[in-house]
Amino acid sequence: MDWLIAGLGNPGPDYAKTRHNAGFCFVQELARRHNVPWRLEKPWKTELARIPGPGHDLLLLQPQDFMNRSGGPVQAAAAFYRVPPARVLVVHDELDLPAGVARFKWAGGHGGHNGLRDLDRALGTRDYWRLRIGIGHPGHKDRVVGYVLARPSSAEEAEIHAAIERSMSVLDDFLAGRQEAAMKTLHSE
Residues labelled as active-site residues? 20
Beta strands 39-41 and 46-51, pairing class: antiparallel
Taking phi over 0 as left and psi of -120 to 50 as alpha, with beta for the rest, 153 belongs to: beta
CA 149 – CA 135 distance, rounded (Å): 11
3-state secondary structure 68-85: HHCHHHHHHHHHHCCCCH
CA 189 – CA 187 distance, rounded (Å): 6
What residues form DSSP beta bridges with 51? Answer: 58
